[in-house]
Amino acid sequence: MGFSKLMTLVFGIAFIIILYFIIYYALKIMYKDVKGGGRKRQSSTKKNYGIEVLSTGENSNLEEGSILLLRGTITIGRREGNTIKLDDQYASGNHAKIIVKNNEIVIEDLNSTNGIFINDERINEFAKIRANDKIRIGSAIFKVIRAEKN
């Protein structure tokens, strides 16, 4: 057996071993992907929040007791295009923005004329809000509620 035939045999065996390792790891990755091992699992501690209308004030388009689920960003004001449209003379066109992110709720005053009151205290710019906080925008009063798990 010559040197070239020996080297061909050694490289052939090495190639087959490397090929088997590549196939093994590819199958391992595909198995994890199919079983969901490579996917982030959603936290079971995710909380659902909403706002309930406690008092409609001068707003004829709101109904007391109605609830809006808080997801992502909610805008409140008199202008068309806001998530919650108010027809209150004390509300600005773009009055407030509520942002839900990472189980935290933040309300931001969008330079409104009459401001936002959280639990009867006026806020400047933005504030974190929690369940059972009362929000007054113009003459409307909302309450932050947390959805119960079944």
d(CA 124, CA 142): 18
Domain map of the chain by residue range? 1-39, 48-147
CATH topology for 48-147?
Tumour Suppressor Smad4 (2.60.200)
Residue 109 phi, psi dihedral angles, 5° rounding: -80, 125
* Four-CA torsion 22, 27, 32, 35, nearest 10 degrees: 170
Is the Cβ–Cβ distance between 104 and 127 less than 8 Å? Answer: no
Positive/negative CA dihedral, 59, 64, 66, 71: positive
The length of the chain, given as a count of residues? 150
pLDDT at 41: 59
CB environment 96-105: b (16+ within 10 A), e (fewer): bbbebeeeeb
pLDDT at 33: 83
pTM for the model: 0.65
Per residue in 77-112, pLDDT (tens digit) is 999 999 999 988 889 999 999 999 888 899 999 989
Burial class (CB in 10 A: 0-12, 13-18, 19+), 38: exposed
pLDDT at 37: 58
pLDDT at 135: 94
- The label of the residue with tokens 């198995």 reads 31
Closest alpha carbon to 75 in 116, 104, 114, 103: 116
Residues in the chain, pLDDT under 70: 1, 37-46, 148-150
pLDDT at 69: 87
pLDDT at 9: 92
Is the Cβ–Cβ distance between 82 and 94 less than 8 Å? Answer: yes
